[in-house]
Amino acid sequence: MNTLVFQLSKTLIQDLTQRLSPYQTSNNNPYVTFSAKYMDATFLAYTSGKLVIQGKGANSLAKYLELNTDSSKDSSSSTSLKSGQDFPMIGTDEVGNGSYFGGIAVVASFVTPDDHAFLKSLGVNDSKQMTDQKIQAIAPLLEKKIPHQALLLTPQKYNQVVGKGLKHNAVSVKVALHNQAIYLLLQKGVQADKIVIDAFTSPNNYQKYVTKEANQVRQAITLEEKAEGKYLAVAVSSIIARAMFLENLKTLGEEVGFQLPSGASAKSDKVASQLLAAYGMESLAYTAKLHFANTQKAQALLNK
């Protein structure tokens, strides 16, 4: 059995155990503070600060945790997490979840250190500062250069699967989309040292829903808040997804003859009431997410 031993700081062990929390197992050893099983390996954290990873997947798990395995087997040399993003990684993000009109666009992107200079030259690292015009201008460049998988759940399809008595709720449908985007990108042959999702739910909640999916991603996944500002791979996905969402919103608007606003403000209520007056509920089922409160508000406006 392959065994790796590390002596780590309390803070570092806390970081590692948080990442492995979805895979936690019980352990009766009074000196073990945390145990988990993942990637064909057992992870054991001790009160002394010692970390033991054992099993045929020990090296793979250590690599995922970004631990230095250059030291010999059963060593107790200190190590630290690799900082930054100087390794191949997949990042995902979604756009449209908070908008009444339009679908949900989810993108998974594969970025290597060789791509960093190109991405920074486009301002991808400052993507939150970008206007929609800038995003739409550079998204085609990213789509051409960066391996990615894009998925668009249209409002019509969204309303068929999300809601009371249906297959998904507003969170589980995003779990399904992110999982599928990652799965399909990995199927293209990319090899990532890390997979990060811009967190929209807790790791435990994500794990609860993703186990129900037919296509399972075997590699560990990390959910991080504000990941778009930390990782270029996530920022790329955010930009491509935003461009997809805006294009979908424009197309839907052209089809029904109305300019559909992004978001879920009173402006959306007003446009929705106009659509109801012109075409009835079918027009909202085609262009909007019906379970939003905007639907009832639009109906109230129409009945005034």
Residues within the annotated binding site?
A: 93-94, 198
Q: Which two tokens stand for residue 117?
A: 């200079």
Residue matched to tokens 């019906």: 290
Beta strand 3-7 with 50-54 is antiparallel
Cβ neighbours for 167, distance < 8 A, ≥ 6 positions apart = 161
Of 43, 40, 38, 37, residue with least CA distance to 13:
43
Going by the DSSP 8-state scheme, the letter that residue 263 receives in this structure is: S
String of b and e for 156-187 (b: at least 16 CB within 10 Å)?
eebbeebeeeeebebbbbbbbbbbbbbbebbe
Sequence-separated (6 or more) residues with CB below 8 Å from residue 297: 266, 269, 272
Q: Are 39 and 108 in contact (CB under 8 A)?
A: no
Contact assessment for residue 196 and residue 91, using Cβ atoms and an 8 Å cutoff: yes
Any residues with CB less than 8 A from the CB of 100 and at least 6 apart, and which?
263, 264, 268, 272, 288, 289, 292, 294
Binding residues for a divalent metal cation: 93-94, 198
